[in-house]
């Protein structure tokens, strides 16, 4: 039984992927340097018979932050509890987790940039000295008790490292940034995960799925699940290159990995806003979406693959975007028949 299940009253709220998630670092693909550094820290802590230092992971969604938080406790052979930053509204929300810690346990806080200031400050002494102040009673009868905690490792994950305050960031002894995966790494993940899902896949098909998965394992898993469903419902259950291509085409995921939302964004920018510059609010209003969705979920990938640029006057579609959508000259192209 994996140790995290010991805390069965604290299921990981993030884990929508238990079947595909590696549980040991040796099963993880890519992130070699990060894994190497973590192995050294883990080995040294074990040799010293000491608790592992607090670790902060930052990087875009779906790259393995939560996966590390599953693997590290398994390597240390300690239990883990998973908390979501947004659910920690006041210090009292953190108290049960801190006072019930087992020695050397891991506490994982996802989206740690979203905890309020008061919770963050409460964490300072917990992280640094393994103690907290507990206020017991109300009003005149309130008493402060200084409580010593069991030594523990805090693992924080954030998609927005810049939003973390300096004092919190500095309390993490180990800080790791997770980067995007290469096509070869992602192809390997697709092949391994197809086996875990008990579906046969050939290598060109795995490569095709990987190449449309934005260098992100979570996206690759989602695409693979869809292609598996398609193969089982429309073909003989085997994922060949043709099956993968047809499935992805049906889901309207193109060769660059763009999905319907991305294409709608580009259509709005190119056709409605004449290629830009256009502000996020303008594009969002036309798309009937929120500017936050655009900024957090759609634009990072379009910026990364250079289909748009951000200028002081707004977003601009690049020549690559026009070429990809066939809207170079008259800007009719792709959209004229859609
Ligand atoms: P994050 O917490 O950064 O949003 P996750 O750790 O939840 O991302 O990763 C999403 C999924 O991608 C995992 O469930 C796992 O299946 C897969 N994954 C992530 N990183 C790796 C890796 N290095 N090797 C293999 N699979 C991975």
C-beta neighbour count of 253 within 10 angstroms: 24
Gyration radius of the chain's alpha carbons:
23
Query: Do 152 and 195 lie in a common domain?
Result: no
Ligand 1 contacts CB of residue 62 (under 6 A): yes
Confidence (pLDDT) at 137? 82
In a domain, 334, yes or no: no
Torsion sign over Cα 207, 213, 214, 217: negative
Domain CATH code at residue 79: 3.40.50.300
Query: Do 39 and 73 lie in a common domain?
Result: yes
Query: Do 188 and 145 lie in a common domain?
Result: no
Average pLDDT over residues 12-34: 84
Mutation test of ligand 1: which of 28, 38, 62, 296 has the most ligand atoms closer than 8 Å to its C-beta?
Answer: 62
Phi-psi region of 60 (alpha: psi -120 to 50; beta: other; left: phi over 0): beta
DSSP 8-state symbol, 254: -
Domain CATH code at residue 193: 1.10.8.60
Work out the percent of the chain whose per-residue pLDDT is above 90.
87
Query: Do 133 and 244 lie in a common domain?
Result: no
Query: Do 57 and 128 lie in a common domain?
Result: yes
SS (H, E, C) 94-145: CHHHHHCCCCCEEEEEECHHHCCHHHHHHHHHHHHHCEEEEEECCHHHCEEE
Alpha-carbon distance values, 109 to 28, 64, 190, 277 (Å): 21, 14, 28, 38
Ligand 1 contacts CB of residue 159 (under 6 A): no
pLDDT at 332 over 50: no
Ligand 1 contacts CB of residue 210 (under 6 A): no
Query: Do 208 and 165 lie in a common domain?
Result: no
Least confidently predicted of 3-17, 271-285, 311-325:
3-17
User: Which residue among the candidates 110, 153, 262, 268 is catalytic per the annotation?
Assistant: 110
Mutation test of ligand 1: which of 4, 67, 85, 222 has the most ligand atoms closer than 8 Å to its C-beta?
Answer: 67
Confidence (pLDDT) at 18? 81
pLDDT at 55 over 80: yes
pLDDT at 16 over 60: no
Ligand 1 contacts CB of residue 65 (under 6 A): yes
Query: Do 155 and 35 lie in a common domain?
Result: yes
Query: Do 201 and 117 lie in a common domain?
Result: no
In a domain, 319, yes or no: yes
Confidence (pLDDT) at 136? 85
Ligand 1 contacts CB of residue 60 (under 6 A): no
DSSP string of 213-229, one letter each residue: TTT-HHHHHHHHHHHHH
136-185 per-position pLDDT tens digit? 888 888 889 999 999 999 999 999 999 999 999 999 999 999 999 999 99
Query: Do 218 and 108 lie in a common domain?
Result: no
* CB distance 130 to 151 below 8 Å: yes
Query: Do 168 and 198 lie in a common domain?
Result: no
152 membership: H or E segment, kind and range: strand 152-158
In a domain, 80, yes or no: yes
Distance CA 230, CA 249 (A): 11
Distance CA 64, CA 182 (A): 14
Whole-model pTM? 0.91
In a domain, 118, yes or no: yes
| Residue 301 token pair | 């990938």
Confidence (pLDDT) at 13? 46
Instruction: Identify the domain boundary among 177, 197, 219.
Output: 177
pLDDT category of residue 196 using cuts at 50, 70 and 90: very high
In a domain, 239, yes or no: yes
Confidence (pLDDT) at 17? 73
pLDDT category of residue 4 using cuts at 50, 70 and 90: very low
Distance CA 101, CA 115 (A): 20
Torsion sign over Cα 101, 105, 109, 113: positive
Domain that holds residue 271: 260-329
Domain count of the chain? 3
Annotation says 110 is catalytic: yes
Alpha-carbon distance values, 154 to 23, 35, 124, 178 (Å): 18, 18, 11, 18
In a domain, 26, yes or no: no
């Amino acid at each position: 039984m994996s140790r995290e299940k010991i805390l069965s009253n604290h299921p990981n709220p993030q884990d929508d992927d238990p079947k595909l998630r590696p549980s040991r670092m040796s099963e993880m693909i890519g992130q070699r340097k990060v894994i190497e550094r973590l192995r050294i820290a883990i080995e040294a802590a074990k040799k010293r018979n000491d608790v592992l230092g607090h670790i902060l992971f930052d990087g875009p969604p779906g790259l393995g932050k939560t996966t590390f938080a599953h693997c590290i406790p398994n390597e240390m052979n300690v239990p883990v509890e998973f908390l979501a930053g947004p659910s920690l509204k006041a210090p009292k929300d953190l108290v049960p987790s801190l006072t019930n810690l087992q020695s050397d346990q891991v506490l994982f806080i996802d989206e740690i940039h979203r905890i309020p200031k008061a919770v963050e400050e409460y964490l300072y002494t917990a992280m640094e000295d393994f103690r907290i102040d507990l206020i017991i009673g109300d009003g005149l009868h309130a008493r402060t008790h200084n409580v010593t905690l069991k030594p523990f490792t805090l693992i924080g994950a954030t998609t927005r490292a810049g939003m973390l305050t300096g004092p919190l960031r500095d309390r993490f002894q180990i800080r790791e940034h997770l980067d995007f995966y290469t096509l070869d790494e992602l192809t390997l993940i697709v092949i391994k995960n197809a086996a875990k899902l008990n579906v046969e896949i050939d290598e060109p098909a795995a490569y095709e799925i990987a190449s449309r998965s934005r260098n992100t394992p979570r996206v690759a898993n989602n695409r693979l699940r869809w292609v598996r469903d398609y193969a089982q419902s429309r073909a003989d259950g085997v994922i060949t290159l043709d099956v993968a291509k047809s499935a992805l085409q049906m889901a309207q995921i193109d060769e660059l990995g763009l999905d319907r939302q991305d294409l709608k964004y580009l259509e709005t920018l190119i056709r409605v806003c004449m290629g830009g510059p256009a502000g996020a609010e303008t594009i969002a209003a036309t798309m009937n979406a929120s500017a936050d969705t655009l900024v957090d979920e759609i634009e990072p990938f379009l910026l990364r693959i250079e289909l748009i640029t951000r200028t002081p006057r707004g977003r601009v579609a690049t020549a690559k975007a026009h070429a990809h959508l066939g809207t170079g000259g008259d800007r009719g192209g792709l959209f004229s028949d859609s």
